[in-house]
Chains A and B, each alone.
Chain A
Amino acid sequence: MKVLLAMLLLVGTSVAQEPDPTYTFLLRRSSFTQEQLSDLRAYGRAKDDQPARITSVLVAPNTNYILFSVSPTKRVERDTLLALIGNGRIAPVSKLTIRSVPDGRRGGLEVWPEMEDCKTSPGRYVCLPEDFNRDWTEIVISSK
């Protein structure tokens, strides 16, 4: 089932010829070594006119979680991400697609983003976990 979802998620983009969608994944830090995280960070693009397409890694207040956003540019990157989804090590949170059409009234392009996430496509994307924003350094453990 996970593989099917992954196929829909990543392979489906090539069928629809969508313009460079950006995927955001939820990573559990304990599932990755620092070296593996560094490898992932090198995926996708380091530069782009649209900052949304640039690979980013965001450590949540709950440091068990990492949000990883990437616009895969190579087949090997897509394959690796598919495998990680398939074995449950990363979970897709959202897909951002930047669309544009010529703007006849103003000239240039009319540009807008579209987002798919757990609200628009609950079966394909996961919501952020409830404890995503829990800062463990602020938790006080008491014997009372």
Chain B
Amino acid sequence: MRALILLFLFVSPVLAEQFSAQNFGIIGTKRTLVDAWFFNEGKQTATRGVRGAGDLLSGPVWITGYHGPGLNFLATNSRVELQNESAFDFITQTSTWTLIIVYKADNPPNGIIFSKTNTFSAVGFYMQGTAAAADDMAINFNVSGVKKIYTPPLTKAQSAGKNWRVFIFDYCSRSNKPEVDDVIFSIDGVIFTDTNDGTIAGSIANNNLAVISGWDAGTSTPINWRMDMVALLRGDGRGPLTTPELKLIVDRVLGR
């Protein structure tokens, strides 16, 4: 009976949203929910976040997701433009924040996953699979044309597969812990590949819309991921997440 109740809880999109709509619902008090998008509409040209809406542009496709419907970002420049721009201004090089994505990838990432640069702007912050990082997952900060690439040790082989996976990027003042499913690939290290020698200073808040998927600088390569949900949380100096906390997130978003 308990198993049935649990099954219903996590298969039901409505309850899943309620679960994650609480500020501290997903991992306790170390992170505050900024917004989450569950892509449960299954149709329409917009998707409703917990706090703000996103517009579906250039051909994301509604598909069968993990919890109900999801979106496939197969088409060139297909993206969700998030309308509440100011909600993401806290993302800087030195702030603490956590990005959680439930996804399935047939191939290694080779496009934008999440950015705060608006469409076609190469200046700002974006996370992508990138050739500059030998197709590994990378995070880019590009301030005033000066770019730094931080490459978490998450290889292409680890990022794609047949199953739905959870990607967690816990960014804490330049240390992070990328995780796919419940395998942690790095605890506190960052492989640092630098395309420029200069040090970046200043804010990356560029007053542009944040984007899920979208334009990949230079190639317009789509991310080609199926996404069931995306959530963004902020840490406000509360430190990096621990391994048990990361595992707790994975268990909760997968309904285990």
- Residues of A at the B interface (CB closer than 8 Å) are 22, 24, 49-52, 54, 56, 58, 60-61, 67, 69, 93-94, 96, 98, 103, 106, 108-113, 115, 128, 132-133, 135
Quick one: given A69-B59, A111-B63, are A54 and B45 in contact (CB under 8 Å)?
A: yes
Contact of A98 with B75 at beta-carbon distance under 8 Å, contacts A50-B43, A51-B45, A133-B220 already known:
no
A52 touches B77 (CB 8 A): no
B residues near A111, Cβ cutoff 8 Å: 61-64
Q: Which of B57, B63, B220 contacts A51 (CB 8 A)?
A: B57
Chain A contacts for B63, CB-based, 8 A: 111-113
When the two chains form their complex, are residues A133 and B217 in contact, meaning their CB atoms are under 8 A apart? Answer: yes
Cβ of B72 within 8 Å of any chain A Cβ, yes or no, is: yes
The answer to whether B57 touches A56 (Cβ under 8 A) is: yes
The answer to whether A115 touches B74 (Cβ under 8 A) is yes
Residues of B within 8 A of A135 (CB): 120
- Are B60 and A51 neighbours in the complex by a CB distance under 8 Å? yes
Which B positions have Cβ atoms within 8 angstroms of A?
Answer: 42-45, 56-64, 72, 74-78, 120, 217-220
Which of chain A's residues has its CB closest to B59's CB?
A52
Q: Which residues of chain A come closer than 8 Å to B60, judged between CB atoms?
A: 51-52
A–B complex contacts, Cβ < 8 Å, 25 sampled: A22-B75, A24-B59, A49-B42, A49-B44, A49-B62, A50-B61, A51-B57, A51-B61, A52-B61, A56-B59, A60-B120, A67-B77, A69-B75, A94-B75, A96-B61, A106-B64, A111-B61, A113-B63, A113-B74, A113-B75, A128-B76, A128-B219, A133-B120, A133-B219, A135-B120
Expressed in whole angstroms, the Cα–Cα distance for A6 and B230 within the complex equals 39
Tell me the bound Cα distance from A52 to B218 in angstroms. Answer: 23
Kindly list 10 other residue pairs between chains A and B, CB separation below 8 angstroms, not including A51-B56, A56-B57.
A22-B75, A49-B43, A49-B62, A58-B58, A94-B76, A103-B64, A109-B64, A112-B61, A128-B76, A135-B120
A94 to B74, CA, bound (A): 11
Q: Do B64 and A113 touch across chains, with their CB atoms under 8 A apart?
A: no
User: Hey, which chain B residues are within 8 Å of A52, CB to CB?
Assistant: 59-61, 75, 78
Measured in the bound complex, the distance between the Cα atoms of B76 and A128 in whole Å is 10
Q: Which residues of B contact A94 (CB under 8 A)?
A: 75-76
Please measure, in the bound complex, the distance between the C-alpha atom of A72 and the C-alpha atom of B52, giving whole angstroms.
33
Nearest CB of A to B92, in Å: 24
Q: Which residue of B has the minimal Cβ distance to A47?
A: B45
Q: How far is the CA of A93 from the CA of B59 in the complex (A)?
A: 14
What chain A residues lie within 8 Å of B72 (beta carbons)?
112-113
Q: Provide the bound-state CA to CA distance between A132 and B72, in Å.
A: 24
Q: Specify which of A22, A49, A61, A112 is in contact with B59 (CB 8 Å cutoff).
A: A22
Residue from A67, A98, A113 within 8 A of B76 (CB atoms): A67
Question: Nearest Cβ distance between residue A60 and chain B, in whole angstroms?
Answer: 8
* Contact of A115 with B218 at beta-carbon distance under 8 Å, contacts A22-B59, A50-B62 already known: no
Query: In the assembled complex, which residues on chain B have CB atoms less than 8 Å from the CB atom of A69?
Result: 58-59, 75
**Minimal beta-carbon separation of A77 from chain B (angstroms):** 18
Q: Chain B's nearest CB lies how many Å from the CB of A93? A: 7
Known A-B contacts A50-B62, A51-B59; the reply to A96 vs B75 at CB < 8 A is yes
A24: B residues at CB distance < 8 A: 59, 75-76
- Of chain A, the residue at the smallest CB distance from B78 is A52
Query: A78–B158 Cα gap in the complex (Å)?
Result: 43
Instruction: Please state if B76 and A93 are interface contacts (CB–CB under 8 Å).
Output: yes
